[in-house]
Structure 1
Amino acid sequence: MSNSISKIPFARIKVAYVAGFLSIFFSLFSWVGFGILNLDSQPYALMFWLFFLGMSYRFVKFPKLLLLPLIFAYLGFFLATLADLSSLDINLLGRAGFNYLSFYIIFIGFYNFISRFGVPINLLWFALFLWAMGALAEIFYPEVMSILSPRRTTSDRGLTSFAPEPTFFAVFSIFVLWIICCHYSYSRRIVVLSLFTSLVFVVVLAKSTMGILFLSIFLVFIFLYVTLKKWVSWKDPFLLLATAFSVLAIPYFGAQYFSNASDINRIGVVVKSVFLEGKYLDIFLSDASMNSRLEDVVFSFHGFFMNLGMPGGGFELL
């Protein structure tokens, strides 16, 4: 009897690990719905995270840094509900509350899985490989990818792989590669491999102008970190100058290359405006994707305050 009881915690830990592993897997493919639900974000990852937390309820840690945002979010949610009871929509109210709650559930799930089992770095590499294979499959069988996940793109844009849009594909790739770089403490070999992989994913496959903007920011932080802290010693001026030359030369020659196709290539228009003409703000006017994302940021903050913290569409206070 005691032997069987002693085996229960180990069995629960194994089940919890499998549930957490599947949660992360579906989180890495959050747009894949297998044609069942026509939604951008699918519920499968959240379902597995709830199961993981349920199996780990004795060991769940709640990060203190989430406490204040959680209180603030639901206080605003409650006040907004009281402010407009006359036009209350139960469906929108439930959807808004669930979306708020799902963020905290997934965050707590990731926090507890990584605290107990570490970062599943091999799963991240495997996910990137599958995303690359999905993009290549899209070239020959685009209808197959549209069955797995919703697609909102046109023939003149890049590949989407398992995402609805090329921009989502590019941003997801950069984010995962950034996690990998952090995991390996910006090892030189990993950073070089990550930069090469990100260039292939963002420029060659996704062809996303917004992705290139994020990639540029990513490159700036990478070079600042590795130049000032990791690789280059101030006692080695040749290596320091070579690194600085690379940072300046790559964007310039890249701009020269892309500008030759600026009439038909969205990337060429953006790169030419920034690096050759110095029109930094014009990129948000010339590129529809960047303009839409800037609009989302500006109006999201404006709507957040005007709607008393409610998600967009929850109430008509704006």
Structure 2
Amino acid sequence: MLLIACMFPWSSPAPTASDTQPIALVLAAVYSILYVRSTSRYLWPMVIMLFGGFATLLYSPNMEGIRGITGYISILFIPLALIHYFKTYGIPSRKFYLCILFIWGAIAIIQFWDPSIIKFLSPRTREFSLTGGRGVTSFAPEPTFYGLWLLIIATAYTVQHNTIKIKLSRPDYAVYTLIAFQLLFLSRSTLVILLVAAVVLAYLLLFRPFLLLAGTGMTTILLSDFFLSAFGTNSEIAIEKFRIFYILSAASSVEFSDILSIDGSVSDRVVQILNSHIQSFNNHLMPNGYGTWRESAENLPEFLAGTYHSIDSLNRVLSLSGSVLYEVGIFSIPFIFFMIYLMTKSLPGMGNRSLLLKIFFTSVFLIQAIPLALPTISFFISAMLCSIAIKKHIITTIPIHKNTNTPPPINN
């Protein structure tokens, strides 16, 4: 049940008013009380951040703080339970990932005709997602979160199944194909697609420069008026109705200083990423507390002045690293370096160029609008911790769930 709750973080049989549902935290707490008898020494950065969260709340108590502290509790206690679960029962199999992805994809496809199909499970799901070339949401509140969920799942799967030293096989291709299809054709998340494109571009620059030249030419063709007009405008999924193509095409025809004015949603997220980090360092990494972001966010640096499109986007910081830096300040520094360490150690690849690529991916990953309370990010952290533990022989073996023929990891 805990794994299922991590895979459907915005859904619940009895949903609350918030986006992220607390069912995974409740199940993790129950599991930890019943089964966990020792803590992981790797979780100390979360302990420090939780201490900073409580200290900030006690210094300036408010209702926003009571809601905000949930994220700092989740990021500690859900990995605590999941690490024990993985060590005892094994990591999720390929079939588990395929089943979860199929369910998300099936609901997303149905939403093209009935956007409110899962309102009873995910009441915060938006129904206006098809307008303006945007994608559907599936179980997520909006297409961007759907895309981020897919990105986290793809990275977690890569980490877990890279650890057991098995070559890419047909089931792997099925997992990545489902993820790519849902990202490109269902969620259509502009920011996540741009993130993946940037990582691919960095990979080609470091490892395949000749392919980079070919890819640049293909991109130019895809964004040309001739190509876009050749596909017509009648179909809802016609290539020119994809928001990413509109934004890229528009970006190529404006001055660099006007790029942030092209799309309101993308602009608000990019500006929040920049501003949250700027505000944190301007305050010398001292905690700013909870419920103060709207006032601080409106105090934009001169080069970002006038770039917000929607004041509603200022309710919370739309950045994982930006939110923890802003709220608890210096107490979050160990966690951020901890995440960099985990991702560079657990992701596949060796050598200096691979390290540069992993650092780049980690950097753009951490600044995304991933809520700290999201159980799926705790699942990802647990997967990385177990991966590193196997590589360091702290854990000798982690079995695979019995519903797969995949052998256990090879011990050197």
What is the TM-score of this pair, normalised by structure 2?
A: 0.56
Equivalent residue in structure 1 for 2:51, among 56, 59, 74 = 74
Aligned to 2:126: 152
Do residues 29 (structure 1) and 8 (structure 2) align?
Answer: yes
SS across alignment from 1:30 = coil
* C-alpha distance in 1 between matches for 2:216 and 2:114: 39
What letter corresponds to residue 140 of structure 1 in structure 2? W
* C-alpha distance in 1 between matches for 2:84 and 2:292: 31
Aligned to 1:43: 22
| Greater alpha carbon shift after TM alignment, 171-180 vs 183-192 | 183-192
8 Å Cα contact 1:284-1:290 kept in structure 2: yes
* C-alpha distance in 1 between matches for 2:290 and 2:278: 10
* C-alpha distance in 2 between matches for 1:219 and 1:193: 20
Write the deviation string for residues 50-92 of structure 1: whole angstroms up to 9, x where unpaired.
122122222x43233x31452255246425633x4xxx43x34
Do residues 293 (structure 1) and 241 (structure 2) align?
Answer: no
SS across alignment from 1:147 = coil
Write the deviation string for residues 13-59 of structure 1: whole angstroms up to 9, x where unpaired.
xxxxxxxxx1121111111134632320001111111122122222x
Aligned to 1:177: 154
Which structure shows the higher helix fraction?
1
Aligned to 1:19: none
Equivalent residue in structure 1 for 2:179, among 198, 203, 209 = 198
Write the deviation string for residues 239-275 of structure 1: whole angstroms up to 9, x where unpaired.
x95x55664455344333775479865222222256x
What letter corresponds to residue 96 of structure 1 in structure 2? G
| Per-residue deviation, 1:195 | 5.0
Do residues 272 (structure 1) and 249 (structure 2) align?
Answer: yes
Aligned to 2:222: 254
Aligned to 2:357: none
* C-alpha distance in 2 between matches for 1:167 and 1:102: 22
What letter corresponds to residue 31 of structure 2 in structure 1? F
1:111-126 counterparts in 2 under 5 A? Answer: 111-121=83-93, 122-126=95-99
Q: Structure 2 vs 1, CA of residues 35 and 213 (structure 1 numbering), >3 Å: closer, same or farther?
A: farther
| Greater alpha carbon shift after TM alignment, 216-225 vs 148-157 | 216-225
- What 5-or-longer segments of structure 2 have no aligned partner? 234-238, 297-412
| Per-residue deviation, 1:280 | 6.8
* C-alpha distance in 2 between matches for 1:217 and 1:152: 28
- What 5-or-longer segments of structure 1 have no aligned partner? 1-21, 229-239
Q: Structure 2 vs 1, CA of residues 214 and 197 (structure 1 numbering), >3 Å: closer, same or farther?
A: farther
Do residues 104 (structure 1) and 76 (structure 2) align?
Answer: yes
Q: Structure 2 vs 1, CA of residues 285 and 314 (structure 1 numbering), >3 Å: closer, same or farther?
A: closer
Q: Structure 2 vs 1, CA of residues 244 and 102 (structure 1 numbering), >3 Å: closer, same or farther?
A: same
Q: Structure 2 vs 1, CA of residues 254 and 114 (structure 1 numbering), >3 Å: closer, same or farther?
A: farther
| Greater alpha carbon shift after TM alignment, 30-39 vs 253-262 | 253-262
* C-alpha distance in 1 between matches for 2:173 and 2:54: 45
Structure 1 or 2, whichever has the larger Rg, is 1
| Per-residue deviation, 1:298 | 3.1
| Per-residue deviation, 1:133 | 0.8
What letter corresponds to residue 287 of structure 2 in structure 1? G
What letter corresponds to residue 98 of structure 1 in structure 2? T
Q: Structure 2 vs 1, CA of residues 111 and 205 (structure 1 numbering), >3 Å: closer, same or farther?
A: same
SS across alignment from 2:119 = helix
Q: Structure 2 vs 1, CA of residues 201 and 73 (structure 1 numbering), >3 Å: closer, same or farther?
A: same
Write the deviation string for residues 202-231 of structure 1: whole angstroms up to 9, x where unpaired.
221112212211221343466679x58xxx
What is the TM-score of this pair, normalised by structure 1?
A: 0.71
Q: Structure 2 vs 1, CA of residues 79 and 207 (structure 1 numbering), >3 Å: closer, same or farther?
A: closer
8 Å Cα contact 1:160-1:169 kept in structure 2: yes
Q: Structure 2 vs 1, CA of residues 77 and 309 (structure 1 numbering), >3 Å: closer, same or farther?
A: farther
* C-alpha distance in 2 between matches for 1:246 and 1:196: 23
What letter corresponds to residue 15 of structure 2 in structure 1? I
8 Å Cα contact 2:118-2:139 kept in structure 1: yes
Higher RCO (Cα < 8 Å, 6 or more apart): 2
Aligned to 2:402: none
Q: Percent identity?
A: 20
Do residues 212 (structure 1) and 193 (structure 2) align?
Answer: yes
What letter corresponds to residue 249 of structure 2 in structure 1? K
* C-alpha distance in 2 between matches for 1:282 and 1:145: 39
| Per-residue deviation, 1:303 | 5.5
* C-alpha distance in 2 between matches for 1:63 and 1:280: 47
* C-alpha distance in 1 between matches for 2:222 and 2:193: 12
* C-alpha distance in 1 between matches for 2:178 and 2:215: 18
Aligned length: 276
Do residues 136 (structure 1) and 109 (structure 2) align?
Answer: yes
* C-alpha distance in 2 between matches for 1:95 and 1:42: 12
| Per-residue deviation, 1:130 | 0.6
8 Å Cα contact 2:147-2:187 kept in structure 1: yes
What letter corresponds to residue 148 of structure 2 in structure 1? V
| Greater alpha carbon shift after TM alignment, 259-268 vs 156-165 | 259-268
* C-alpha distance in 2 between matches for 1:267 and 1:316: 28
| Greater alpha carbon shift after TM alignment, 104-113 vs 215-224 | 215-224
